[in-house]
Structure 1
Amino acid sequence: MMKRKLERKAAPTPPPKSTRRQDPVSCESCRKKKLKCDRRLPCRSCTVRNLACSYGTYGPVGSPNVRENIETGNSPVSPSSMSQTLSKQAENQPRNDPLTTADWLETIVMGHRVPSAIPTTLRDGLTQNRGNPSQPGQTIVSGNLLTLIRGGVLPSLENPARIRLFSLLPSESEALSSLSYYLNHLDYQYHLIVAHRTERNILNIYENIANDQPVNLGHVALLFSIIACGLFYQLLPTESTDVAERSSGEAAFLAGSALIQANYVAYPTLEGLQATMIISHHLSFLTFNPVVSSFFIHGSLINQAQSLGLHVLDGASQVEDRKANGYDRAEVELKRRLWWDLASYDWLIGFLSGPQQWTYRIKPSHMNVWRPLNIEDEDIETSDTGQPMSNPTCMSYFHLRLRLAEVCRRIVDEIGPEHLRGADVQYEKILDLDRKLHDAHAELPSFFRYDQHSRREFSELYRKRPMLAWQRAFIQQGYHSRLCRLHRQYFVRGARDPRYSYSHVVSLQSARKVLEVKRIMDEEEPLFVPNSSFFWAVMHHVFMAAVTLLIDVCFNWDDILAEKRKEEVLEACKMLTRAQQTSSVAREGINAMMRILRKHWKQEPQFARSGEPTSPQAAFFSSDYPLPPGTQGDKDPFAAHQDVPVSTNAFDAGNPATHVPLEDLWSEMLNSSVYPGLNTPEWMDLLTELNDTTGLCD
């Protein structure tokens, strides 16, 4: 007993606990306002309120001020290396959190079944909270998006599931400004949003962030998709194509990141579908980060829409359910618009060159969806009936584009099997489909026609609503370019064979109409904003029309009107040259098509007795004659202004400083085209490859 007491007394006495002053863990702004701080740099509260986030001499807990040093120039670390460091840190973070692991396992095993098994209200709640970027341990990418990109700090280098998306959002006023630009200059092409509904969604984002409430990541994705499209077309007039594409691609990546964090594949939302469709339509020519690119593929869009039940929106049970329980008119009408936009695009591209040629995915017998109303957005929640097509609305163009798409679907049904078998299409079928296209074109309302009387009658309407004038141009080009395509197989034959002369005449008329429409786009009010040359669909139609006229001159070089036709072709070239000078998108696309044209144009040169070509012009398009400067990959070929005199020969490949206007190149082609070396099948190959070169143009 005594021994135990002695041992107890011998035990050393623990030193008293030292109490030290705890350093502040919140930023100075949050301490002053007594707000909860997430201890990041910058913190979420300061980011939302556009305040300078400072921790004084302490810095955020567990987060060194490395990024602050980079932004202020006090660190030798470059922005690009910093971005890579952040990526590695995110990858090396532990992932043994039991709740996170359980959530991943549930998603892998049951994610594809859950949406159809749980109530809609519960599913919406899961979508709002799943992947909320306010969770701790996520990578921070802060600052103005364009500034970050120019500094080499790219969000696409981060893990999309861990990016703090809120720190990359613009201010509320900037977000609304981006929405305004999209509505005024881009939305009229497809009309995939209801303005007041989307504005409310954007305002909810900032309100929920300010109140520390869960944010619907579908709304965030929709906002980033609108920013992505606006960035591209706003930057093009002042920046290089590379800067515009990179900036827009990064914003599209953030839209995809929001969808990933929301587990959009398993829990699709209407706003998420809008986001993917907007990017797919307006930025289809961009190459996206492979992590998110699958969201924007046409087949994926259809699958997303079917997961939301859009293809059976007006089935008997759905209609009865809406009558019994009530419904949101704007939401149902928006769903109809999205589905019919997917259907019309699907049918339009079926009659274009590419992997989808002569086929389509959406079968009319496999869906039950009413047509959207021809109605203004402000009346969508109060009216059950639409206006007649003779009354212009924001949906007029949508319906007329759908009508054209239905004719294209009929064309695919009628002549697709012959083309897939490699057989000639009977000329009677071509004439029957031609009548269908002309009948649909004749149904266009007066305010979408291009005759002088209609243009004068509705000039005041176009001044008040310029988007109607722009839509009128698009629908006219859409019809006439497809008439050219329908008659392509018999166009060259019709130049020599009276049995097919109708195809020759219609093709030339349609090609001239496409060029006339482009001239009006450039010269008459209201002018396109952004410039119509920024839209490759427009310039692709113009280039194909110019090639159609070029082919006609080659096969009718001895015609009494040959010189006049040459002048017509050169006028079209001047239009293309102006577009090259206006738009880098047009310049790159036209240069790509010129390379295809040169490859196919294997002119038989006129040889002198010595066996040498009589002139460089005669041999230019033979296989071994050098290309003009820039056509083999230079960044800016054919960049000179059309009226700048060229002192040297237009094809002087020995002078690298020579810049050749497009009309000079084509003039040499015309001068050496006494006997074109291509027969009818080869001309068909040329036209087909020109269509394939630059992607889809609907």
Structure 2
Amino acid sequence: MDGDAVGITKSQRARLTCTQCHRRKIKCDKNIPCETCIKRGLGSFCSREDNAESRLATARSTSEEFTVSNDLANTLLQRVIDLEAKLQQQTNPGTEHLDDQDYTEAPSADQEETVTPVDTTDCDAATVLEFLAWGRTKDVDFARAPEHDSGPRQHAMSREDSPENTSFWAETSNRAQLDVLEALMPSRSHLCQLVDYHNHSLLWYHNSYSSQIFSDDFESFVTKYNGDVHYDQLNLQWLALLFAIMTGSMTCASPATVREWGFSDAEQPILSKRWYEATVTCLNLAHYIETHTIYSVQAIATLTISAHVLGKSNSQTVLLASAGRIAQSLGLHRLGSDPSNMSTDQLRKREAGKRVFAQLCTQDWFQIPFSESYSLSSRFSRTVRPLNCNDEDMVLQPSSNPTQSSYCNFRYDIAALMPELLDATASCNTQYTRYEQVLQYDDKMRKLATASIPTFLAADAPLNVEWPSFASWGRRSLTICAAHKIIMIHRKFLGLSFNNSAFAFTRRTCLAAAKTILKEALAESDPRGPVIWIEQAFSVAAGIILSLDSAHRDPGEKEREEHKQLAARAIEYLRKFRHSKIASRGVQLLSFLQRELDDTSSSRPEKRPRSLVDGRSGTSRKKARLLDTQAFIRNASQSLGVVSPAATSASEMSMNVDDNPWDSFFDLLGPNTGFDGDLFENFCPA
């Protein structure tokens, strides 16, 4: 073999171009590293080898890979034999160990973290080994995995993702997308302002990442890597999290704050949308579906605060579903109690995992009224509630003290009731028994809010000057979200409540909730505070309920005109949010309803005395239909571009008002609308 190599070397001229340029058939200056590789960011991979060395290297590589594969097979086979032996011992334990087992103490929380994974591996050896063949791991120890705290530095590059295995067209496309990302990156001072604003003014609302960990990583990005998106070893999933944070800040900051940063009013909506898309681009470039890290989960969860305003509700629904599966792959649903001897840094990392998983669960459970299903079940999760602490010191605080986790922890407790309500109503076979469950969970939420609401969120508690600014912002959001959650509990019976006196409590409750939402939304707010999108979304929901109630009242009734005027005020309020997609759709939808009410009022005959109406009693007599709801929903959805014109058949136009899906009004605003950061407050409907 060596002789052949020598012959080849003598008979052929040595190749001077580098390996990278030779494989791609592009120009090379024949220096190592060459200028072409340096420009493409592949300087560290630039090398030269002659034909003989190349063939010898290929032969050696093949031989080495065969040897490694053979050794790996032998190792795995021996591991299977050892595990089977352990399983046999556990199945038939010796009698001499029985006395010891009877007096063995239960493992502590500290021991549980280390003992449980070993036992699981031993008992589930076949599954563990099968997962290895798929390129996956089972029972991942998230807290100890180095790829989840690498920050902006890419932890490792798989063989499939290495430059040698990347096609020319894919590499060219990736480079072009990185060029666009570079063009979207603002100055360093702007980056610092956006990150700082999100940490202090928005993170309390979703709690999807650790401000301390991210701030340290961000410092490395701007100092060590000079904020360069083309950096060879840059972790693009971490970069996705940075873009998600920037998106949230630009979307939720008040116009005055945006101008103070130096951005124009015209730039705000453009950059918000482009940065959202940049986040998704980074995720795709990093192959986040295949390569699972905590950063992709945090990026997706963080995007939720801006997605609906930007008209990205459908995209966000799919991203959240993928984030839930990735989180389970990382073992975030198995983060149990923290060992007592854990370092502060390790505790902070575990808490970051708990927090983002709690946010994913909350998002999943709050969308139940729209999808009638959920993906993340608490029955199969060992992750405990995140600690009420701040990132800086990780010191546990009383529940009455506001921390970065307080608001979201309380929201999580409320969200956990939603899958229970769905399961309870799914097992019922009549409207009567389903309604009993609705009333039961209505009562549960009120009691939970009364007994467990943190002091800083209670409307009747004085504000402590030492509390952070988000304490007052949280109270406003809480009042609005709480009222909306009551509406969601009663949603399935809202349409029936307009005509069936058995469900009159639902009508009174939803009307009171709608008025509460608009009262809080229309009240003066902190001009320096963030603009949280739920204020717009839930105001639309309130306007819908008031309009529907007006449609079921006679023209002479006082409440009809009162509720119609409140809906009109909601329209004027929503017009202020010029760049919000959900506010824009809400204005169109509520304006359609207002025109329909005006048309039906002018075409309806004067109300006749009760004694002349066919002798039927008032309780059994249904009100005349003022609004062809099914036709309205079809026309409105087409106008808003939510469904195609052929989505509704012509035969549905003549449906009776009692059979109409009233909750379809809310679906016109997009999936998951109104289910981010939702809380509940102790409000009692009149």
**C-alpha separation in 2, matches of 1:266 and 1:121:** 17
Render the CA deviation track for 1:227-280: whole Å, top value 9, x for unaligned: 2333444679822887355423442244324523xxx33432222321122124
Corresponding residue for 1:199?
215
TM-score (norm 1): 0.60
Render the CA deviation track for 1:401-450: whole Å, top value 9, x for unaligned: 112102222221221445xx795654332321221121122232343233
**C-alpha separation in 1, matches of 2:508 and 2:313:** 46
**C-alpha separation in 1, matches of 2:273 and 2:404:** 32
Going from structure 1 to structure 2, the CA distance change for 1:164 and 1:436 (only over 3 Å counts) comes to same
**C-alpha separation in 2, matches of 1:442 and 1:289:** 33
**C-alpha separation in 1, matches of 2:317 and 2:550:** 45
Q: In the alignment, does 2:338 pair up with 1:338?
A: no
**C-alpha separation in 2, matches of 1:475 and 1:325:** 34
Name which of structure 1's ranges 403-412 and 597-606 shifts more when overlaid on structure 2: 597-606
Deviation of the 1:199 alpha carbon = 1.0
Among 365, 378, 385, which residue is 1:347 paired with? Answer: 365
Render the CA deviation track for 1:507-526: whole Å, top value 9, x for unaligned: 22222111112123xx14x2
Render the CA deviation track for 1:292-319: whole Å, top value 9, x for unaligned: x69962221111111111111227xxx6
Corresponding residue for 2:381?
367
Structure 1 unaligned runs (5+)?
1-35, 46-96, 141-154, 609-618, 636-676
Corresponding residue for 2:664?
688
1:240-251 aligned within 5 A: 243-244=270-271, 246-251=273-278
Q: Which structure is higher in helix share?
A: 2
Going from structure 1 to structure 2, the CA distance change for 1:439 and 1:519 (only over 3 Å counts) comes to same
1:627-638 aligned within 5 A: none
Name which of structure 1's ranges 435-444 and 495-504 shifts more when overlaid on structure 2: 495-504
Q: In the alignment, does 2:463 pair up with 1:458?
A: yes
Corresponding residue for 2:109?
none
Among 509, 516, 520, which residue is 1:517 paired with? Answer: 520
Q: In the alignment, does 2:485 pair up with 1:478?
A: no
**C-alpha separation in 2, matches of 1:474 and 1:289:** 20
**C-alpha separation in 2, matches of 1:114 and 1:449:** 46
**C-alpha separation in 1, matches of 2:518 and 2:172:** 43
Among 413, 417, 441, which residue is 2:423 paired with? Answer: 413
Corresponding residue for 2:569?
574
Among 548, 551, 556, which residue is 1:551 paired with? Answer: 548
TM-score (norm 2): 0.61
Amino acid at match of 2:404: C
**C-alpha separation in 2, matches of 1:390 and 1:333:** 20
**C-alpha separation in 1, matches of 2:448 and 2:363:** 17
Corresponding residue for 1:163?
178
Structure 2 unaligned runs (5+)?
1-32, 43-56, 70-130, 606-624, 642-654, 676-686
**C-alpha separation in 1, matches of 2:280 and 2:265:** 23
Amino acid at match of 2:565: L
**C-alpha separation in 2, matches of 1:289 and 1:258:** 22
Render the CA deviation track for 1:166-187: whole Å, top value 9, x for unaligned: 8455444332222112224432
Identical residues among aligned pairs (%): 16
Among 374, 393, 412, which residue is 1:379 paired with? Answer: 393
Render the CA deviation track for 1:533-559: whole Å, top value 9, x for unaligned: xx1x32222122222223333334367
Q: In the alignment, does 2:596 pair up with 1:593?
A: no
What is the total number of aligned residue pairs between the two structures?
A: 508
Going from structure 1 to structure 2, the CA distance change for 1:280 and 1:578 (only over 3 Å counts) comes to closer
Deviation of the 1:117 alpha carbon = 11
Corresponding residue for 1:238?
265
Work out whether residues 334 and 382 of structure 2, in 8 Å CA contact, stay in contact via their aligned partners in 1. yes
Render the CA deviation track for 1:619-658: whole Å, top value 9, x for unaligned: 99789x999xx998699xxxxxxxxxxxxxxxxxxxxxxx
Deviation of the 1:195 alpha carbon = 1.6
SS of 2:275's equivalent in the other structure is: helix
Going from structure 1 to structure 2, the CA distance change for 1:337 and 1:604 (only over 3 Å counts) comes to same
Deviation of the 1:123 alpha carbon = 5.9
**C-alpha separation in 2, matches of 1:545 and 1:634:** 19
**C-alpha separation in 2, matches of 1:686 and 1:342:** 28
Work out whether residues 276 and 295 of structure 1, in 8 Å CA contact, stay in contact via their aligned partners in 2. no
Among 283, 297, 301, which residue is 2:307 paired with? Answer: 283
Render the CA deviation track for 1:44-97: whole Å, top value 9, x for unaligned: 89xxxxxxxxxxxxxxxxxxxxxxxxxxxxxxxxxxxxxxxxxxxxxxxxxxx9
Amino acid at match of 1:529: G
Amino acid at match of 1:504: R
Work out whether residues 564 and 594 of structure 2, in 8 Å CA contact, stay in contact via their aligned partners in 1. no
Amino acid at match of 2:365: W
**C-alpha separation in 2, matches of 1:242 and 1:40:** 38
Deviation of the 1:366 alpha carbon = 0.7
Q: In the alignment, does 2:414 pair up with 1:438?
A: no
Going from structure 1 to structure 2, the CA distance change for 1:390 and 1:593 (only over 3 Å counts) comes to same
**C-alpha separation in 2, matches of 1:633 and 1:557:** 28
**C-alpha separation in 2, matches of 1:401 and 1:240:** 33
Going from structure 1 to structure 2, the CA distance change for 1:246 and 1:192 (only over 3 Å counts) comes to closer
Deviation of the 1:472 alpha carbon = 1.9
Corresponding residue for 1:656?
none
Q: In the alignment, does 2:501 pair up with 1:487?
A: no
Corresponding residue for 1:647?
none
Corresponding residue for 1:401?
411
C-alpha RMSD over aligned residues:
5.1
